[in-house]
Amino acid sequence: MPLRLLVIDEDTDFREQLLARLRQRWPDARISCYLPLGQGSLPPDFVAAGFDVVLLGDAAGLPWLEDIKSRDGFPPVIFLTRTGSEQLAVAAIKAGASDYQSGQTLDPHVLERSIHGALMERKRQRVMEQRKGLGNEVYRFGTVHIRGQRCVRELAAGTLGSVYLAESESLGAMVVLKVLRQVPDIGEGQGAFDRFLQEYEVISGIEHTNVVRIHELGVADDHAYIAMEYFPAGDLRKQMGVRMSPARVLFYVGQIAAALTVIHREGVLHRDLKPGNIMLRGDGSLALIDFGMAKELAVKAEITGRGTIFGTPYYMSPEQGHGKTVDERSDLYSLGIILYELLTGKKPFLADTPLGVIYLHGNADIPRLPGELHRFQALLDGLLAKQPEQRFQSAEQVLDALGELQEQFV
């Protein structure tokens, strides 16, 4: 297998010099770079399981080294210091570095010896893990083993499957792993498996910053799994309950509408658009997830059967709540509910039962926004109209309306 190296450093010039040295000696090596200032701290559960050696620049500093060495199973670290400070180098060794390199110019022969020494240390580390019986257990997800995916913890569990936080050794990154534990031939399990594969098929072909990235699909005799993008910042629910600035609301709703534009153009409905299915990244961008209820418009044979109600009642369009045929405008209605909640900090329709909420969606008046938010009323009316033909007819129209609103807040 090719050598896998993780370079953690912020200095562009120094990093490029290092990469040139590494590629000259190991042209087939797989090298990943992590920029501390741009990407922030390493995820808490990340142990670089798929890497052989880590090269840590002193721009990150000793605190990064100390954090890394506190994580069980992290690969050996070679500390790189530009200053040539022996004091810093000694401190790095005391903090657990396998070796260090000092000086602005990297000696390729010295670097090679350091990496070979670290590789020997990594081999010993893995042998010890095997002796402790950790070799296979780290790949266990419930009753199944998935090689190359290191299980961190279970996030959610259902009757037929579970969702886990995992570390992908091939990607060198944290992922969310949806695992269907069994693939029955008939009954509820078969429908679940069909929806599971549909989720992958729906989003694997869509590349857009506001749609979750799918990394891998795996299917075996007794299980299937999807590895997808991990969002450490959580979902949009964390932003709910507190009113936010109009500019922030426009920023969020614009991203959701952009995602709907893309999926609708591909002939896909989401059908369960809600804050829990809208994830936040560290840079503030949003991404839609959970397309298990999505439906391709061109497909006549519905996996779920006609008349079946899907979605969350609080965010469900009147036609969806009554089991009628839905189209893109149903997703736009759900976006309107989210818009209202972002603006006011509360849901527009509340009742004691789900059926009560569904009734209100179909019969209650569209709520009026308070005075300072009146500029959003036309947008809200165009999203929450009871009849689909009275709503915005496409996500593109919503984006146009948002653009006009944004000019008012400049």
Catalytic residues: 272
**Residue indicated by tokens 């089991």:** 323
Tell me how far apart the alpha carbons of residues 23 and 191 are, in angstroms, rounded to a whole number. Answer: 49
Tell me the β-bridge partners of 102: 81
Alpha-carbon distance 172 to 195, whole Å?
Answer: 28
Here the tokens at position 391 are 């709503």
**Residue 275 class from Cβ within 10 Å (0-12 exposed, 13-18 middle, 19+ buried)?**
buried
Q: Tokens standing for 199?
A: 């989720």
CA–CA separation, 148 and 259 (whole Å): 31
Q: How far is CA 63 from CA 43, 91, 177, 287, in A?
A: 15, 11, 31, 32
CA distance 30 to 117: 18
In the numeric block, which tokens belong to residue 248?
């922030």
Task: Using CA atoms of 340, 346, 351, 353 in order, give the dihedral in degrees to the nearest 10.
Answer: 100
The Cα 102–Cα 225 span in angstroms is 45
